[in-house]
Structure 1
Amino acid sequence: MKKISIMASIVLLSSTIASARVFVGIQAGYDMGKFESVLRGNNGVLGSSAFSAIQDHNFYAGLDVGTEHIYNYVGFRWFVGVGYTSAFETAEINLGVDFLLNFLKSDRFSMGFYVGVGSSFQALINPALKGEIPILGRTGLSFGLGEHNRIDIGVQIPIITWSIEAFDKPFGIMYSPIRTQIGYKYIF
């Protein structure tokens, strides 16, 4: 029985990999966030920051590669990417997974939504800073144009925020941006 289960799992995994379509994408976005000061090891009281009135506006640009697996109206995709955001002057390495649901579908056009989760590792240009890895919720609309093109319009909302600390100081800052973005993916 165990061998049959293993064989069935291998067949299912092979068919999933065989139906995967690789994509390469480009994204641009706008971050709107707020800085909050915190003591090291203590997140403090939300809104108690000396920076609480400061709204920060930044841009984002990135490239990603991944695979999507769509079965008629339902599917998922995973991706890895690199990007740059003007907040903290950080380069990012991104990893994410999305659930896709098309509610309109034809041979030439599809429209649906996606919901997922992602994370970003920041490579800070300032070596005196260190940062924690945020967890981001993702959602938006997705438009399939023909066989090979997809446009996504969405938003990323922080579940766990960016936390940046100076190595030689007892305090740091938290940054909670909401990112709106538009992206294009070419699907092979």
Structure 2
Amino acid sequence: MPVINGFDVTALRETVAAVTEERRLGHVTFAVQGEWQGGLAVRSTTGALVQGGVRDPRRAGKFVLESDEPAALLGGDTAVSPGEYVLQALAGCYTVTLVANAAAQGIELRKYRLALEADFDLSGFLGIDKAVSPGVQELRVTVDVDAPEASREQLEELVKLVEQRSPIRDTLVRGVTVTTKLA
């Protein structure tokens, strides 16, 4: 199979076959380490990637992520906010999922754009209203796909696949156990 949308379809098929054969290869752990920078800012670096129980240290410290809050939310406005990182995580995962599935189906993309918005109600975070969750109240995603050879129905099916298979979307809608402990 060729490379479609800059994505190696053969490698995808080989990965599916390998994980089907040896399921532990599909078990992946990402890590970051964060350090407070004063105010509401944190600087994090990527940790080692673990796949199938094998630690790959090549990503450790390779990438830096910084966050802060906007001035309107009492931050220093020196970096992307954690809420924007949630949107970026979903945008990134939607992109991986859409591009890989489009390529696997032979759908060539000319252009692909996303618009994401997340609504928060600060009365939960600030402890003003215990009935209000401090997290995202609603998250909206608009997907704009330009694929001249694909029908509207094919693109709608592709977006459904993205909703079904995106790990980050699944994490957001399903909820996940988060364990926090003091070192």
TM-score, normalised to structure 1, is 0.29
Greater per-residue helix proportion:
2
Bigger relative contact order, structure 1 or 2, given CA contacts below 8 A and separation 6+? Answer: 1
TM-score scaled by length of structure 2: 0.29
